[in-house]
Amino acid sequence: MTGAGAALRIEGVHKSFAKLEVLRGVDLEVAEHEVVCLIGASGSGKSTLLRCINLLEPIEAGRIVVEGLEITAPDADIDAIRRRIGIVFQAFNLFPHMSVLDNITLAPIRVLKRPRAQAEADATALLARFGLADKRDDYPDRLSGGQQQRVAIIRALAMEPDLLLLDEVTSALDPELVAEVLEIIRELAGQGMTMVIATHEMSFAREIADRVCFLDDGVILEQGPPERIFGAPEQPRTRQFLARIVAAGRL
Amino acid sequence: MTGGSASRRRLGRSVGGRAVLIALASTVVFFGAIGWVVVHSPGWPVVQRSFFDAERFWDALPDSIARFRLNVQLFLIAEVLSLVFGLVLAVLRSLPGPVFFPIRALAVVYVDFFRALPGILVIFILAFGIPGLRLQGVTNDRFFWGIVALTLLYSAYVSEVYRAGIESVHPSQEAAARSLGLSRVQALRFVIVPQAVRRVIPPLLNDFIGLQKDTVLVSFVGVVEVFRTASIKSSAYFNFTPYLATALIFIVVTIPLARFTDWLVARDRRNQLRGGVR
């Protein structure tokens, strides 16, 4: 890969929390329209890596370039670059004091300076597209977890991001609600949305990913097309991890 | 509903009825005993004459009520001002990063300073000290300086309440706001402060009960409000009953506010249990 057309380029990223080094030199390049799944045990650094990409967590070393803009540059307009990166969190993080509509339109109105009427029309269209039109005026706490997570995805999409980061978005959901959220992600992948997805849903990763990265102890130990990573992993650590997943009946 | 739950409700009511009777009886005995001790104390006749003189009471009440208007003004103006100023202080104190250190430090010093000072001293210093400087164009109005003093004092308390509210909003809320491209100030304004304010309304009202009562301190610099009116009448007739009228006015005004605060707290708790936020 040359990196010229890369949606995201990560070079040598290091991140520590106090004395614990969570990322120990991560390199990753994501092409336009590519779907990359990050897998690995809890604590391997998947979530931290996603949170570092838009600098929700400051990093100690390395470079992160999004759509040709280096967010880690000292003079970077971080807010401007963040607009191009959508992130969806495990715990939804909807704004509880706002209706679904206001959750979605807040950033388009305040950040992109869209007229309210237009932002609301766009949000309503997105809600309708993902089957949530009737929840427009509800408050988040009145929705199921699956519905809340779908609203959170729509909130990120309303900013029309070039890159979408999904941080274990189904991990906080009851099993019967997982499918409705995965369905949306599948649809986005079909439309060519560039995505980096941290997930524990191995069969979903196998189905949707163009590339799977196995994170272990703060580095990307192995990466490749899903058939190879899940079918014939080279690294013993990857094999070990997948064996545990299979034993737990999750693949 | 089934018969079982209906009979359980009936049982609940009769148990509740007995509880009310017991509470009533114990209250009557308790206060009856205190009343008996007071009324049979050796000095009671004198105390009764100087504190519970019906004629003096009805003489003082209308004037006291009329003068209470000043306390209400002091209270309302100082309340609104300290709500605004307190929020500004709290927001300044929560600004992140090394650049804002002097501003944070200033806010901390302010809050520490005005919480440490007895209110009456601040009122004395402002209402006597500043006019004493004889600056041109600076008012000597004691009422004005009383409001300023109460505002400075209560802003410090109120900002601490706000700050607790701001800190109680989970960091993930700010992360979500910032990830959408909102600036730190926008995140505060649209996401964090609205949630914080909702949470601190009950403790804020609590502070305002204090402010309401502290308006009498302004009487000590010569503003003839309700307490001053009572003390003038009290000295004129050598009788303490006018103070009783003042006490009664405060009770009538403050207790509903206290009950309203309790009601808000209970409602918040109910909403949280039900999962609603509005």
Where do the domains of chain B lie? 1-40, 51-274
- The answer to whether position A206 is within a domain reads yes
Contact B176 A94 (CB under 8 A): yes
From chain A, pick out residues whose CB is under 8 angstroms from the CB of B180.
82-83, 106-107, 111, 155-156, 159
Q: Chain A: which residues have CB within 8 Å of chain B?
A: 51, 54, 56, 79-80, 82-83, 85-87, 89, 91, 93-97, 106-107, 110-112, 139-142, 155-156, 159
- CA distance to partner chain B, nearest, from residue A104 (Å): 10
- The answer to whether position A39 is within a domain reads yes
Rounded CA separation A129/A69 (Å): 31
- The answer to whether position A221 is within a domain reads yes
From chain A, pick out residues whose CB is under 8 angstroms from the CB of B275.
141-142
Q: What is the 3-state secondary structure (H, E, C) of chain A?
A: CCCCCEEEEEEEEEEEECCEEEEEEEEEEEECCCEEEEECCCCCCHHHHHHHHCCCCCCCEEEEEECCEECCCCCCCHHHHHCCEEEECCCCCCCCCCCHHHHHHHHHHHCCCCCHHHHHHHHHHHHHHCCCHHHCCCCHHHCCHHHHHHHHHHHHHCCCCCEEEEECCCCCCCHHHHHHHHHHHHHHHHCCCEEEEECCCHHHHHHHCCEEEEEECCEEEEEECHHHHHHCCCCHHHHHHHHHHHHCCCC
CA distances from B112 to B108, B116, B152, B159 (A): 6, 6, 12, 11
Q: Which of A80, A85, A93 sits opposite B173 (nearest CB)?
A: A93
Q: What is the pLDDT along chain B (278 residues), one digit of tens a residue?
A: 444 555 555 555 667 788 899 999 999 999 999 999 999 999 998 888 888 888 888 988 898 999 999 999 999 999 999 999 999 999 999 887 888 899 999 999 999 999 999 999 999 999 988 888 888 888 888 899 999 999 999 999 999 999 999 999 999 999 999 999 999 889 999 999 999 988 898 889 888 889 999 999 999 888 888 899 889 988 888 889 889 999 999 999 888 888 888 888 788 777 665 544 44
Q: What is the ipTM of this complex?
A: 0.90
Q: Which of A96, A97, A159 sits opposite B181 (nearest CB)?
A: A159
Write the CATH number for A178: 3.40.50.300
Residue-level pLDDT at B1: 43
**pLDDT of A66-108, one tens digit each?**
988 899 998 889 999 999 999 999 999 999 999 999 999 999 9
Q: Does B271 touch chain A (CB under 8 A)?
A: no
pLDDT of A172 strictly over 90: no
Domain that holds residue A31: 6-247
Range A3-11 average pLDDT: 80
3-state secondary structure of B66: helix
Residue-level pLDDT at A54: 87
Q: Provide the number of structural domains found in chain A.
A: 1
Percent of chain A's residues with pLDDT above 90: 74
Say which CATH architecture domain B51-274 belongs to.
Orthogonal Bundle (1.10)
Residue-level pLDDT at B5: 54
- Decide which of A248 and B164 is more confident: B164
Q: What is the dihedral of CA A224, A229, A230, A231, to 10 degrees?
A: 100
**pLDDT of A42-61, one tens digit each?**
888 899 999 999 889 999 99
CA distances from A227 to A18, A28, A207, A233, A245 (A): 38, 19, 9, 9, 16
Rounded CA separation A158/A123 (Å): 7
Q: Does B272 touch chain A (CB under 8 A)?
A: no
- The answer to whether position A129 is within a domain reads yes
Contact B180 A142 (CB under 8 A): no
